[in-house]
Amino acid sequence: MTEESNQIVAIESDEELERSAVAGAAAVERLISDRNNLRNILAAHERELAASRAAQESLKRRLGVLHQRYIELGKSIISQLQQFDSAMREAMSDRSESQNGEAASAPDANSQFDSNGLPVASRPNGRNGHHQVRGLPIEP
């Protein structure tokens, strides 16, 4: 009977050993599968990150170009405004000089512009409501 019980224990332990080996092999296969899935996910994230960085660099370059264009546009507008101001001052000065030449006998109180071609404002001098003519302040 002892031989029979030893055989039964041996059969049971062989079966247990085989089941443990199969379970271990299945666990190793699951671990390998999980590792491969994680590698694939990591590779996808790395590709997304690289694409995101490339897009960010492209946006930075485009923003820099846009910034430079706005600066150039601002400079151009300022230049045009300065040219317009100069032309207006010259036209007003020419007009003022031609009016001074035509009406040399007319008093300065009737002049609408000062010697710089700027409009003048009249202010009361306090004597019977009469006004005196003064030029507007000139910006520096």
* For range 14-40, the mean pLDDT: 94
What is the gyration radius of the CA atoms in the chain, in angstroms?
Answer: 48
Q: What is the pLDDT of residues 70-102, one digit of tens each?
A: 999 999 999 999 999 999 999 888 887 777 766
pTM above 0.75, yes or no: no
In the chain, what are the domain boundaries? 2-106, 108-140
Q: Tell me the one-letter amino acid at 69.
A: R
Structure tokens at 130: 């009469």
- In contact, 125 and 132? CB cutoff 8 Å: yes
Q: Tens digits of per-residue pLDDT, 38-75?
A: 999 999 999 999 999 999 999 999 999 999 999 999 99
- Checking DSSP bridges between strand 120-124 and strand 131-135, what pairing results, if any? antiparallel
Q: Which residues contact 67 (CB under 8 A, 6 or more apart)?
A: none
For the chain, give the percent of residues with pLDDT over 90.
Answer: 50
